[in-house]
Structure 1
Amino acid sequence: MPFEFDLIRRLPAVVYHSTKFINCLFCFSASNRIR
């Protein structure tokens, strides 16, 4: 049970970082395509 609780507590941070990372990759590929 403590492990699952820790996982749920960390989920928002993981989602936030992964979204930021995907956004970064998308911006990078878009800027490469424009050039």
Structure 2
Amino acid sequence: MIVVDIFKVVNGRFVEHWDVMQEEIVAEKTLSGNSMFPIK
């Protein structure tokens, strides 16, 4: 599971919040053949 939280801070205060949850798709199942995150 991929989870991302993004916060916007203005003058030291949280003013916005976004979050995303998604199952990771393996490279073999994508149309491009690329993974969601490159592994180095």
Q: Which category of TM-score, normalised to the shorter sequence, fits these structures?
A: under 0.3
Larger fraction in strand: 2
TM-score, L = length of structure 1: 0.15
TM-score, L = length of structure 2: 0.15
Larger fraction in helix: 1
Higher relative contact order at CA 8 Å, sep ≥6: structure 1 or structure 2? 2
